[in-house]
Amino acid sequence: MSASPAISASRETEYSTRADDRPPVLQVEELAICYGKLEVCSDVSLHVRRGEALALIGESGSGKSVTVLAVTGLLGRGGAVSRGRVMLDGEEISHLNIRERRRRGLLGRRIGLIFQNPSRALDPVFTIGQQLNEALGLTGLSGKEALRRKGAEWLRHVGLPDPEEALDRYPHQLSGGQRQRAMIAIALASEPELLIADEPTTALDVTIQAQVLNLIRRLQRELNLALVVVTHDFGVVAAMADRVAVMYAGQVVETGTVAEIINAPRHPYTRALLASLPTGEPGARIAALPGSVPSAVAMPAGCRFHPRCPMAIGRCSREAPQLQPAADGYLLRCLRAEEIARHV
Ligand SMILES: Nc1ncnc2c1ncn2[C@@H]1O[C@H](COP(=O)(O)OP(=O)(O)OP(=O)(O)O)[C@@H](O)[C@H]1O
């Protein structure tokens, strides 16, 4: 029996335009990404609207970071989009080089970035105020006093104590949590429409993580931003997102609302990921997921997850499943989707 027809991109488009006539802020359609001849992502489709937060989740090596790098145009040496499209507000941007992206204000201006490590994102030789000024300048704001006033306002917005004073500080004069807050202020000061947060709290102390997650979520809602948050942590998904795209081996394997994915996951990979979380109950056993994500040089034939899948049958090693609608707005990539649906 053959696999179902490839419909991922068209279905993503169909679903994404049903509820709201405006194009999504970000729409990624059947994206493939190569480094040299190596295809590290081969079929990524997702979208996010204004006021909505989408989490990208998957184990290390599943392709989350390269997907957001392709969106920002920062794939680096040898990296390129080889198929598919990235659309920002309905305009295709996948083919634009860095110079053209800068000219159109895509980097920093329309797409804000929050990285895992603020020390890498902040420039150590400039004060927080100077770095805020650069972002504010992108909105057309000018004049020393106006910039200072607005800069302090942003630092107050992200909860930095003594915002006026913090403007004159260098990054190394702030604590880790404060640096992360300053980076968030700088990312938002240019008033982007899309905010991308790649593992935004992994480098922070556990006690600070929840505060920073809450801050990003609050600002995303207040500013009605489209947010893509990259994580390997279902706690972050639950705290931050409206919808989730689960990635495995360079593909989206399941996408739906947070409630659908966390309460009633259908893909065997998502189920295994959730089953491997500690429950907190004393003596509870963790069902660990055996094996690891295959590398791009040794991608299994058929379903990429089949060697690790507890539900795999013969055809899973031969047929490559497509991302299919399993319910309204809910997409699943599994050859056994219908059987699974009967048991949900
Ligand atoms: N610069 C690069 N050159 C070649 N291959 C790369 C490069 N960057 C990433 N890859 C490959 O792309 C695949 C996806 O990697 P990616 O970093 O996107 O995964 P991830 O899901 O973000 O993992 P992590 O959670 O560890 O960041 C991996 O197989 C990785 O080895």
The structural domain count of the chain equals: 1
Q: Please check whether residue 231 is in contact with residue 57, taking contact to mean a CB–CB distance below 8 angstroms.
A: yes
Ligand 1 binding pocket includes 76 (Cβ within 6 Å) = yes
Q: Is 178 buried (19+), middle (13-18) or exposed (0-12) by CB count in 10 A?
A: buried
* Residue 312, pLDDT above cutoff 90: yes
* Tokens (6 digits) for 203: 């480098």
- CATH number of the domain that residue 42 is part of: 3.40.50.300
Stronger pLDDT, 280 or 264, i.e. the higher one: 264
Q: How far is the CA of 250 from the centre of ligand 1 (A)?
A: 9
Which whole-number Å values give the CA distances from 136 to 140, 187, 225, in the listed order?
A: 7, 10, 17
Question: If you average pLDDT over residues 211-239, what whole number do you get?
Answer: 93
Stronger pLDDT, 208 or 155, i.e. the higher one: 155
Among the listed residues 98, 92, 64, the one whose alpha carbon sits nearest the alpha carbon of residue 80? 98
* Tokens (6 digits) for 149: 């006033």
| Beta pairing partners, 83 | 32
Q: How far is the CA of 63 from the centre of ligand 1 (A)?
A: 6
Query: Is 47 within a domain?
Result: yes
Query: Is 203 within a domain?
Result: no
Among the listed residues 46, 42, 41, the one whose alpha carbon sits nearest the alpha carbon of residue 86? 46
Residues 6+ apart with CB under 8 A from 260: 327, 330
Q: Please check whether residue 324 is in contact with residue 341, taking contact to mean a CB–CB distance below 8 angstroms.
A: no
C-alpha angle with apex 218: 182 to 216, nearest 5 degrees? 40
Query: Is 32 within a domain?
Result: yes
Query: Is 253 within a domain?
Result: yes
Determine the Cα–Cα distance for residues 197 and 56; give it in Å rounded to an integer: 10
Question: If you average pLDDT over residues 319-344, what whole number do you get?
Answer: 87
Q: Is 253 buried (19+), middle (13-18) or exposed (0-12) by CB count in 10 A?
A: buried
ipTM above 0.90, yes or no: yes
* Residue 329, pLDDT above cutoff 90: no
Query: Is 231 within a domain?
Result: no
* Residue 63, pLDDT above cutoff 50: yes
The CB density around residue 290, as the number of other CB atoms within 10 Å, is 10
Query: Is 126 within a domain?
Result: no
* Tokens (6 digits) for 208: 């600070």
Ligand 1 binding pocket includes 40 (Cβ within 6 Å) = yes
Give the atom of ligand 1 at the shortest distance from the alpha carbon of 250: 14
- Our measurement of the distance from residue 230's CA atom to the centroid of its chain's CA atoms, rounded to an integer in Å, reads 4
Query: Is 71 within a domain?
Result: yes
Query: Is 235 within a domain?
Result: no
Question: What pTM does this model have?
Answer: 0.89
Q: Which of 66, 69, 199 to mutate for ligand 1's pocket (most ligand atoms within 8 Å of CB)? A: 66
Owning domain of residue 249: 8-52+62-103+245-278+286-342
β-strand 53-57 against 243-248: which pairing, if any? parallel
* Tokens (6 digits) for 248: 């495995």
Question: If you average pLDDT over residues 286-298, what whole number do you get?
Answer: 81
Phi–psi pair at 323, nearest 5 degrees: -75, 115
Q: Is 2 buried (19+), middle (13-18) or exposed (0-12) by CB count in 10 A?
A: exposed
Whose alpha carbon is nearest atom 11 of ligand 1?
40
Determine the Cα–Cα distance for residues 299 and 32; give it in Å rounded to an integer: 14
Ligand 1 binding pocket includes 292 (Cβ within 6 Å) = no
